[in-house]
């Protein structure tokens, strides 16, 4: 695996962006069909969702997802920074405007049960205060990182999602900043805490999902993971070797999840 380890600093980050491979790799329909058949061989009774976190945990199940100030901060913080690109404002004002729009969406009946908007609309005022503080901190951190970048960047409207054909499987890759350079792109992903031993395979899984989610199967030339609290950045290159390894890791995670569900049922 082409895993690069750097300390998180402006010069180091820009060096990772500038020295990314010059050409992109493309996944074909044959690659998609092969992956689909491998997932179909690992059948599950319901719909499964896989991401880098599942790969890093080797498929071990954790607590079920629920909204909280911590889980809501990234969605709100990223949306606020994206809003600031078109409507200049302070980070705090952008977060408050985003919160207002989310609640208005719920009040207008455009949010589904379980969505962030639905949860925010029923959250008490003290919780909204905590959500605001967490989102401001996240948006400020991402803004500082984006200001380091010397290449044009954008905050994507969503993470990358790919539904595996006929396999009842959805893959999701986290992405916080997209850096475009002519016909190539580099992805930056931000995580809390510090990277573990399986952080590299997790980045590789995100790389593979990002390529699959692209309409033409074009992979990013480099996927960069940042851990600001630890002052560390890791990256993997968009090579065919790493894309295939990422696909294998995702299938292995599906196998591990099925094995665990079988043991629990027994």
Q: What is the mean pLDDT of residues 42-48?
A: 86
* Least confident piece of the model among 43-57, 73-87, 120-134: 43-57
Q: Which long-range contacts (CB under 8 A, 24 or more apart) does 58-62 make?
A: 58/198, 58/252, 58/253, 58/256, 59/252, 59/253, 59/254, 59/255, 59/256, 59/257, 59/259, 59/260, 60/256, 60/260, 61/257, 61/260
Measure CA 99 to chain center: 21
Over 90: is that where the pLDDT of 93 sits?
Answer: yes
Strand order in the sheet with 160-164: 48-51, 169-173, 160-164
Question: Is residue 250 a contact partner of residue 205, using CB atoms and an 8 Å limit?
Answer: yes
Angle between helices 69-86 and 125-148 (to 10 degrees): 50
Query: How many helices and strands, by DSSP H and E, does the chain display?
Result: 9, 9
Strands 222-227 and 184-190: parallel
Question: Is residue 131 a contact partner of residue 123, using CB atoms and an 8 Å limit?
Answer: yes
Across-strand partners of 232?
7, 227
The pLDDT value recorded for residue 209 is 98
The pLDDT value recorded for residue 262 is 73
Over 60: is that where the pLDDT of 266 sits?
Answer: no
Phi, psi of 104 (to 5 degrees): -65, -35
Contacts of 73 (CB under 8 A, 6+ apart): 131, 134, 135, 137, 138
Rounded CA-CA distance 158/77 in Å is 12
- Gyration radius from the chain CA atoms: 19
Give the pLDDT confidence of 153-192 residue by residue, as tens digits. Answer: 999 999 999 999 899 999 999 999 999 988 899 999 999 9
Domain locations in the chain as residue ranges:
3-60+151-265, 69-140
Rounded CA-CA distance 75/67 in Å is 11
The larger pLDDT score, comparing residue 108 to residue 27, is at: 27
The pLDDT value recorded for residue 75 is 97
Q: Where are the alpha helices (DSSP H) in 172-236?
A: 199-213
Select from 237, 233, 235, 204 the least CA-distant residue to 220.
237
Question: Is residue 220 a contact partner of residue 186, using CB atoms and an 8 Å limit?
Answer: yes
Mean pLDDT computed over every residue of the chain: 94
Over 70: is that where the pLDDT of 265 sits?
Answer: no
Q: How confident is the model at residue 263 (pLDDT cuts 50, 70, 90)?
A: low
* Start-to-end Cα distance in the chain: 37
């Amino acid at each position: 695996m082409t895993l690069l380890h750097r300390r998180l600093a402006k010069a180091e980050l820009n060096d990772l962006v500038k020295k990314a491979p010059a050409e992109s790799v493309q996944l074909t329909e044959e690659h998609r069909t092969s992956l689909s058949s491998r997932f179909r061989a690992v059948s599950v009774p319901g719909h499964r969702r896989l991401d880098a976190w599942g790969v890093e945990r080797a498929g071990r199940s954790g607590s079920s997802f629920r909204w909280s100030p911590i889980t809501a901060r990234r969605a709100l913080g990223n949306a606020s920074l994206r809003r600031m690109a078109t409507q200049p404002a302070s980070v705090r004002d952008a977060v408050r405007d985003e919160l207002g729009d989310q609640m208005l969406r719920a009040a207008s009946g455009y949010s589904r049960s379980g969505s962030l908007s639905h949860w925010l609309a029923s959250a008490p005022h003290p919780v909204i205060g905590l959500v605001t503080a967490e989102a401001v901190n996240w948006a400020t951190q991402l803004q500082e990182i984006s200001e380091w970048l010397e290449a044009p960047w954008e905050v994507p409207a969503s993470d990358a999602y790919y539904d595996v054909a006929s396999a009842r499987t959805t893959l999701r890759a986290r992405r916080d900043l997209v850096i475009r350079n002519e016909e190539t792109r580099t992805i930056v992903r931000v995580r809390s805490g510090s990277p573990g031993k399986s952080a590299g395979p997790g980045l590789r899984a995100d790389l593979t999902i990002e390529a699959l989610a692209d309409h033409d199967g074009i992979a990013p030339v480099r996927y960069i993971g940042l851990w600001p609290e630890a002052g560390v950045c890791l990256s993997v290159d968009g090579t065919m070797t790493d894309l295939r390894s990422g696909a294998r890791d995702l299938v292995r995670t599906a196998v591990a999840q099925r094995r665990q569900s079988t043991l629990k049922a027994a």
